[in-house]
Structure 1
Amino acid sequence: MEGSSEIGTPASGRGVLIVRNTQSGTAVIRADPADTFAQRLPDAVVHVLADGEDVDDVVVAAMESDAPPDVLGVYGGDGSVSRLAHLARRHERPLLAMPGGTFNHFVRALGIDSVDIAIDALLAGSAVTTGVVEATADGGEPITVLNVVSVGAYPELIEERERRSSLGKWLGGVAATWTALRRAEPLTVVRDGRRARVWSVFVSVGRNDPERVATMQRQDLAADVLDVRIHHARGSRLRALASLAFGKRTAAVLRAVRLFPRDADIERLVVPEIELLVRPQPGRPSVFVHDGELVERDAAGFTLHCVAVPASLRVYAPAP
C-alpha cells in the first residue's frame, strides 16, 4: 500500500456520483444497496445503468454539468470497478469502490467487504494511493487494469461462457468448462524475440502468491511491478484447466491429486513492463481478459503491452 491520507467529504454525500451496475454479481444473492445509499448518502447522485448504456457517457455528462462530482463511485464487479477507476484517473477524482460483483477481487484487497465499510471510509475521509497497470493492445488506447491481464486458456473459457449466457451463469460456466476441456489448444507468444507455446499467461498487478498460476486475486496494492506467470504447454489439457484454480484450497487439492501444473512448466517474471506478441492457432479466438472483461482482437493475433503505474489511483478504504 502506497500510503493513506484523509480527504474531506460532506457527511451527506454531496458531490458524490455513484454508478450502479445491476448486471454485476448475478451469481450471488446480495441485499439491495438502495436503502443504504438513501440513508447514509442522501445527497449523493445514484445512477443505475440502463441496458446498453455506456458508463463513459454517464461520467462525461456528469463532469460537464454545472455541478461536476468531486468523487466517482461504483457499485459493481471487478469489470465495473476497473472502468470507473480508469475514469477516476482520467478526471483526477478519488474513487469510491463498493463490492457488487461475484468475486470483488480489488475491493477485497483494500479490506472492503461491504458497502457500509466503503461508506465509512468515505465519510471518515480515509483514502489510500494504489498502483494500476496500463494495458495496450496493438498500440491502442491504454486500459486501466486493477487485478490481472490474461491470454490463453482463461480468456477462451470466458468467451465460451459468454456464448452460453442464455443457460445462466452457473450452467453456462459448467458447459463452457466442459467444452474448453475438450477443445483447449496452446497458443504462441513471442517475448524479446523468444517464441514459446503456452497454455496461458497471467500478468498480475503487483507481486502475487508464488504458489498460483491464475493470479486473479490481487495481493499487492503498491503495484510497482508486474508479476507474470507463463504456463508452458508441456502438459495435458486437464492441467491447463486445473491451472485456472485461484483458490488456495482448490489448488492444494489439485496438487495433492497431481493435476496441478508442474513447477517446471511455470515461468515467473517480476518486471516493470512486458510486451507479448500473441498468436492463437488458426480458427481459435484472438482475445484477452482484464479484470474479468473479455476483449476481442484481430483473428491473426495482436501485440499486448502492459506497464506498471505506481501511485496512480486514490481510493477510499479503511486505514491500513
Structure 2
Amino acid sequence: MQTPGIPLEPRPTGAGVLIVRNLRSGRDVIRRDPADVITERLPDARVHELAEGELLKDAVARALAGDDPPSVLAVLGGDGSVSRMAHLARRHDLPLLVLPGGTFNHFARAVGIDDVGTAIDALVAGEGTTVTAAEVSAGDGEPVTVLNAISVGTYPQVIAEREDRMDDMGKWLGGVAATWRALHDAAPVVIGREGRHAKVWSVFISVGRNAPERVAMMQRQTIHDDLLDVRIHHARGSRLRAVASLAFGRKTTALLRAVRLMPPESDVERLVVPELDLSVRTSEGSASVYVHDGELEEETPQGYRLRCRIVPDAVRVYAPASAARAD
C-alpha cells in the first residue's frame, strides 16, 4: 500500500515538546540510557519523569493546563506507555513522538523507528504519518486506544501470573514460571459472537492484517490497513499447543511448526473485519483478564463483553518518510 507521509511542524530544538519518561518500562539492556542524546539534541524540550504511582494522563493534564502547554506529546517507554500517550494525543488532537524505551517497542518498529535518534531525526525534519488504530472497551468501560493488538485467553493468563510473581522473581524468571504453570493449568475461555459460542485457548486481534502463519500477533505489520485481523485458536488440542501458539517470532514459529507443536490450521479461525463484539467467560479459578498492547486489564469473574473497532487515521505520528512509503 502506497500512502504518502504528512508534514508536521519541525521541532529542531524540541521547543513545544513534552517528553514523559516511564522508568518502569521494561528496558532494552543492550542500549544505553538515551537521556544524554535527548538533552543534547532537544535542549528546549520539557522532560518529565513519572514518579512512583503517577499516571501518564495526570502528568499530561498538568502540562496542558500550564502557561506554556505543549504542542507535541512524546513518550519514552514501552508499548503500553506509547498506546496510553497515543490515546491522549488523539483526545487533545496533538501529534505523537515515540521514543522507544521498552523491551520490544513493537509500535516504534512498525513506524520505522528503531532508536531514539531516528525518532528525533523525524521530529527535526517534520516528517510524519497518520496511523490507523483500534479502540477496545470492556463492559461499560470507556474505549481505549490500541496500536498493536488485543488478546483474550492463554496469553493474558500468562501475563497475569507473571505480574503476580514479578516482585519476587523479576520479569524474566516470572515469565518462565508463568509459562511453566500454563503448561499444567491453562484453561480455555468461552467466547460468544453473533449467537455462536466456542471454547478457545486464545483470541488475538491485530490492528491491520498480519502474517498469516501466526496465531499470536503482538506487532502490527502495516500502519494504514483499516481492518482488524482476528485469530481464534479453538480448544481442540493440548495445553502444550496452546502455549506454543503464543510464539510470535518468525523463526520460532517456523521451528515449532516443523516439530508439530503449533496448532493445525483447522484449529485456528481467521476473521478480517472492521469491528468485533465478543462475550468472554473464563473457567472457574482462572483470571478474568485481557491484554492490549502489553497492558493487563482485569474484568469481572462472571464474564464481560469486549468490543473492538478500527479507527482510520487515528493518530498523527512523527516518523521517517520511509515508513509511509513502505506500508
Pick from 232, 235, 239 the counterpart of residue 233 of structure 1: 235
Unaligned residue ranges in structure 2 (runs of 5+): 323-327
Cα deviation, 1:191-250, whole Å, max 9, x if unaligned, reads 001000000000100110000000111101013110000000000000000000000000
**Which one-letter code corresponds to 1:243 in the other structure?**
S
After the TM superposition, which parts of structure 1 deviate over 2 Å for at least 4 consecutive aligned residues? 25-30
Cα deviation, 1:285-320, whole Å, max 9, x if unaligned, reads 110000000000011110000000011100000002
User: What CA distance in whole angstroms lies between the structure 2 residues aligned with 1:4 and 1:88?
Assistant: 18
- Residue equivalent to 1:289: 291
User: What CA distance in whole angstroms lies between the structure 2 residues aligned with 1:164 and 1:245?
Assistant: 21
- Residue equivalent to 1:78: 79
- Residue equivalent to 2:187: 185
1:24 equivalent to 2:25? Answer: yes
Q: How many residues align?
A: 320
Unaligned residue ranges in structure 1 (runs of 5+): none
- Residue equivalent to 1:196: 198
- Residue equivalent to 1:271: 273
1:316 equivalent to 2:318? Answer: yes
Contact 2:11 2:126 survives alignment (8 Å)? no
Question: The residue matched to 2:192 in structure 1 has which SS?
Answer: strand
Cα deviation, 1:80-134, whole Å, max 9, x if unaligned, reads 0000000000010000001100001001011100000000000000000011000
Question: The residue matched to 2:9 in structure 1 has which SS?
Answer: coil
Contact 2:11 2:123 survives alignment (8 Å)? no
- Residue equivalent to 1:214: 216
Shift in Å at residue 38 of structure 1?
A: 0.8
More divergent stretch after superposition (5-14 vs 201-210): 5-14
Shift in Å at residue 29 of structure 1?
A: 3.7
**Which one-letter code corresponds to 1:62 in the other structure?**
A
| Aligned Cα root-mean-square deviation (Å) | 1.0
Identity of aligned residues (%): 62
Superposed, which structure 2 residues align to 1:1-320 within 5 Å? 2-26=3-27, 28-166=29-167, 167-320=169-322
Shift in Å at residue 78 of structure 1?
A: 0.3
User: What CA distance in whole angstroms lies between the structure 2 residues aligned with 1:50 and 1:3?
Assistant: 39
**Which one-letter code corresponds to 2:37 in the other structure?**
T
TM-score, with structure 1 as normaliser: 0.98
Question: The residue matched to 1:164 in structure 2 has which SS?
Answer: helix
**Which one-letter code corresponds to 1:118 in the other structure?**
A
Shift in Å at residue 28 of structure 1?
A: 2.7
Cα deviation, 1:249-300, whole Å, max 9, x if unaligned, reads 0001101110001000000000000000000011211100000000000111
Contact 1:3 1:129 survives alignment (8 Å)? no
Cα deviation, 1:119-163, whole Å, max 9, x if unaligned, reads 000000000001100001113100100000000000000000001
User: What CA distance in whole angstroms lies between the structure 2 residues aligned with 1:36 and 1:121?
Assistant: 15
Shift in Å at residue 3 of structure 1?
A: 3.3
User: What CA distance in whole angstroms lies between the structure 1 residues aligned with 2:11 and 2:28?
Assistant: 34
Contact 2:152 2:289 survives alignment (8 Å)? yes
Question: The residue matched to 1:111 in structure 2 has which SS?
Answer: coil
Shift in Å at residue 26 of structure 1?
A: 3.2
Cα deviation, 1:38-62, whole Å, max 9, x if unaligned, reads 1000000010111111111000111
User: What CA distance in whole angstroms lies between the structure 2 residues aligned with 1:181 and 1:151?
Assistant: 17
Contact 1:278 1:304 survives alignment (8 Å)? yes
Contact 2:130 2:315 survives alignment (8 Å)? yes
**Which one-letter code corresponds to 2:61 in the other structure?**
V
TM-score, with structure 2 as normaliser: 0.96
User: What CA distance in whole angstroms lies between the structure 2 residues aligned with 1:15 and 1:195?
Assistant: 51
Question: The residue matched to 1:87 in structure 2 has which SS?
Answer: helix
Question: The residue matched to 2:321 in structure 1 has which SS?
Answer: coil
